[in-house]
Chains A and B, each alone.
Chain A
Amino acid sequence: MKPYRAHLLVCAGTACVSCGSFKIKDALEGEVKKRNLQDEVLVIGTGCNGFCERGPIVLVQPDGVFYQLLKVEDIPFLVEEHLLKGRPVKKLMYVPPAEKEPIPKMKDIEFFKHQRLVVLRNRGRIDPEKVEEYIAFDGYEAMAKALTEMSPEQIIAEITASGLRGRGGAGFPTGKKWQICRQSKGRPKYIICNGDEGDPGAYMDRSVLEADPHAVLEGMVIGAKAIGAEKGFLYIRNEYPLAVKRVEIAIRQAKEYGLLGKDILGTGFDLELEIVQGAGAFVSGEETSLMASIEGRRALPRQRPPFPADSGLWGCPTNINNVETWANIPLIINRGAAWFASIGTEKSKGTKIFSLVGKINNTGLVEVPMGITLRQVIFDIGGGLKNDKKFKAVQTGGPSGGCLPAAKLDLPIDYETLTQAGSIMGSGGMIVMDEDTCMVDVARYFLNFTQEESCGKCVPCRVGTRQLNEILTRITQGLGEPSDLDKLGSLTDTIAAGSLCGLGQTAPNPVLTTLKYFRDEYEAHIRDKSCPAGVCRALIAYYILPEKCVGCLLCKKNCPVEAISGESKKVHVIDQDKCVKCGACYDVCPVKISAVAKLTGRRKDEVLGRSGATGEGR
């Protein structure tokens, strides 16, 4: 076979697929063929490249040129110019916010420059549906080494020495976990890969499974040898069809090649792996409820001890690790514990994947060494906030995490410092909020989520999260009372102390941290009936400033409820009784006029009078 002179790596992670990357791939293949380049140029679909904000994405190798926000119409020009004539196409390259010149090469783009790819080393580099490509980059070598040269004790010692901790959120040392399960007497033993990723806005595990499924399988075989397990499960949520498909293909190929199943690589070691699809309940990510779900029961957590290492699936010793944890294993075996331990901080080793979302310029998936500061992730990699807004808070660790203010931006990211600040590492969600975010409303949003997802087993969590949600809702409606703050305090304590599982124990975190760092906002809502960020509808009113209005009719035309009256070139007026506070007038009023004002609190009362205030937010 003739070697290809160029490879077009089309991102085929879920985010890019949803904005049409399969169509781009088809168009590229068609155009390459039309130009008779099909023997010279290869088009491949890869796992998530990470820069989801800019999808669909194509990387041209060996030139390293990064094309983004592609449309099917761009493809003929791209192929003709770059591949036929060798002229990279500037207009399809990435231009950083507030700059004019595009950056041609992926490695020079800030978003990629500061990342350290360990777990995601194969993202955008291999075709995840071809085991040969995984093998090409030293895949399954660690497994071969572990199966032939290492005893279970040696494997565990290596993992322990590396300092790897669980990437699912709690950060329990992985080597220790394996050791406990290894020493457990029961038979058979099971291993589980926890791919039930339920945090809103988080997709680290999905991306690993989609981009490099064999890394997870290889990690599991090594773990199985260390622990003495002969059967394993990958619990992947049903909402991840692409991840499920890629893992299915990976398992099938690995079995065909003798990399899984009976007598792996002729070493006599057996491991069967099976996918279990979860129905997507948040609580299923908790280990005991996940196991209940695999057994076919309702996903409810149970009391620990006994821990899964002693009594897990069907009462047998079970070791459960997160997707990202498993994917770290082959590298540690291959490159050694000392190498792994050289990355990160004293107590948190290695790298961590974060999904960077919210009001940020570069939304996407990033892998960074532990110990990097929040500021570096948000401003250097994430490119700062959208529309030059001011940073207000970042929520780490999903709905169970806390919101950290600007004063905490220089915190190094590791398990301990985040916990001390009142948040958690969690599985790696990172939601960035700007000055237009109301922190009380954010706390209410997350509590609404945890309340809906509470399995209902423990009363403090089931009833407590509901109460929290109701109090927070009342506060956002302007019906808060001074005593509410104390009530919130005692409720959060009770829920944290009286819940069996991590979901309940951490559910109050968003309330606790917003109370701690943004107490003034709660007080403004309760005391002044004011929402400083202008979010809570019951507390704000839109008002047209007579001295600024030029009578252009724009707001009148855009008002969905016909609450605005006025004629051309005459001042318009909003009927506060009809207004539903959708903000349409505020958005359409031209910036240079800015006649629509958002009023809240005392100023609202002064301008509109008490009677002008409406009680009910819609």
Chain B
Amino acid sequence: MADQKKLRIQDLAAIRDKTRAMLTIREGSGRAKVTVHMGTCGIAAGARDIMDALLDEILKQGVGDVIVTTSGCVGLCSREPMATVELKGQPPVKYVDLNPQKMRRILSEHVLAGRPVAEYALAIGSETMF
């Protein structure tokens, strides 16, 4: 049993890639950042389900380098649940009136394929967190 664990050179890279994907988040960088707005209004409108769907879809698609984070109320409470997608080097896009299906589609099309989903989007731009 113990011997099965013994690594060969090529195993190192496999461990590295697998663990690294989980740790990208610690370096504070990834190819994209998705912010789910979780103020009281967002939570009441179902932001929790959006977050669950997002994390579930990330798991299903095996994505390792997308950062998921939360922020407070954006001020547009009537359009919650909301999320903001920021691809590296591109302006942030704010999505409104989300449901889990919409979130899944945004992940596949915008985050992973780079094509913003225009029909769910409110605007380009985002508030700053600090």
Q: Are B64 and A3 in contact (CB under 8 A)?
A: yes
Complex: A138 Cα to B69 Cα, angstroms: 26
Complex: A140 Cα to B8 Cα, angstroms: 11
**What are the residues of chain A within 8 A of B69 when measuring CB–CB?**
5-6, 62-63, 86
Complex: A367 Cα to B24 Cα, angstroms: 23
Q: What 0/1 readout, one digit per residue, does chain B (23-66) give for beta carbons within 8 Å of chain A? A: 10111111001011111100100000001000110110001100
Q: What 0/1 readout, one digit per residue, does chain B (110-130) give for beta carbons within 8 Å of chain A? A: 000000000000000000011
**What are the residues of chain A within 8 A of B58 when measuring CB–CB?**
2-3
Residue of B nearest to A105 (CB): B130
Complex: A132 Cα to B20 Cα, angstroms: 9
Q: Are B38 and A85 in contact (CB under 8 A)?
A: yes
Q: Are B55 and A3 in contact (CB under 8 A)?
A: yes
Q: How many residues of B contact A (CB 8 A)?
A: 43
Complex: A263 Cα to B56 Cα, angstroms: 42
Residue of B nearest to A136 (CB): B19
Complex: A263 Cα to B8 Cα, angstroms: 10
Q: What 0/1 readout, one digit per residue, does chain A (78-104) give for beta carbons within 8 Å of chain B? A: 000001111110000000000000001
Q: What 0/1 readout, one digit per residue, does chain A (24-57) give for beta carbons within 8 Å of chain B? A: 0000000000000001100000000000000000
* Cβ-defined partner of B7 (8 Å) among A62, A63, A258: A258
A579 within 8 A of B: no
A447 → B minimal CB distance (Å): 46
A275 within 8 A of B: no
Q: Are A265 and B9 in contact (CB under 8 A)?
A: yes
**What are the residues of chain B within 8 A of A546 when measuring CB–CB?**
none
Known contacts A3-B58, A83-B70; A136 and B16 CB within 8 A of each other: yes
Q: Are A256 and B8 in contact (CB under 8 A)?
A: no
Known contacts A5-B68, A132-B19, A140-B12; A104 and B55 CB within 8 A of each other: no
Q: Are A86 and B38 in contact (CB under 8 A)?
A: yes
Q: Are B9 and A61 in contact (CB under 8 A)?
A: no
Which positions 295-326 of chain A face chain B at CB distance < 8 Å? none
**What are the residues of chain B within 8 A of A83 when measuring CB–CB?**
70
B67 within 8 A of A: yes
* Cβ-defined partner of A137 (8 Å) among B9, B23, B37, B40: B23
B61 → A minimal CB distance (Å): 11
Interface centre among A40, A136, A266 (most CB of B within 10 A): A136
Complex: A126 Cα to B16 Cα, angstroms: 13
Q: Are B59 and A2 in contact (CB under 8 A)?
A: yes
* Cβ-defined partner of B72 (8 Å) among A85, A125, A132, A133: A85
Q: How many residues of A contact B (CB 8 A)?
A: 43
Q: Are B56 and A2 in contact (CB under 8 A)?
A: yes
Q: Are B30 and A62 in contact (CB under 8 A)?
A: yes
B14 → A minimal CB distance (Å): 10
Known contacts A3-B59, A5-B69; A135 and B26 CB within 8 A of each other: no
Q: Are B28 and A63 in contact (CB under 8 A)?
A: yes
Q: Are A62 and B67 in contact (CB under 8 A)?
A: yes
Q: Are B26 and A3 in contact (CB under 8 A)?
A: no
Known contacts A3-B64, A7-B26; A257 and B7 CB within 8 A of each other: yes
Q: Are A266 and B28 in contact (CB under 8 A)?
A: no
**What are the residues of chain A within 8 A of B12 when measuring CB–CB?**
135, 140-141, 144, 265
Complex: A21 Cα to B39 Cα, angstroms: 29
Residue of A nearest to B19 (CB): A136
Which positions 1-21 of chain A face chain B at CB distance < 8 Å? 1-7, 9
**What are the residues of chain A within 8 A of B19 when measuring CB–CB?**
132-133, 135-136
Q: Are B23 and A126 in contact (CB under 8 A)?
A: yes
Known contacts A3-B55, A137-B20; A86 and B130 CB within 8 A of each other: no
A148 within 8 A of B: yes
Q: What 0/1 readout, one digit per residue, does chain B (1-16) give for beta carbons within 8 Å of chain A? A: 0100111110010011
Q: Are A40 and B28 in contact (CB under 8 A)?
A: no
A267 within 8 A of B: yes
A6 → B minimal CB distance (Å): 7
Complex: A94 Cα to B43 Cα, angstroms: 29
Sample of 15 further A-B pairs with CB below 8 A, known A2-B56, A40-B51:
A1-B59, A3-B63, A7-B26, A9-B26, A61-B28, A62-B29, A62-B67, A84-B38, A86-B72, A88-B129, A132-B18, A136-B15, A136-B23, A137-B23, A257-B5
Give A residues with C-beta under 8 Å from B. 1-7, 9, 39-40, 61-64, 83-88, 104-105, 125-126, 132-133, 135-141, 144, 148, 256-259, 263, 265-267
Give B residues with C-beta under 8 Å from A. 2, 5-9, 12, 15-16, 18-20, 22-23, 25-30, 33, 35-40, 43, 51, 55-56, 58-59, 63-64, 67-72, 129-130
5 tightest CB-CB pairs across the interface, nearest first? A86-B70, A258-B6, A136-B19, A86-B71, A5-B68
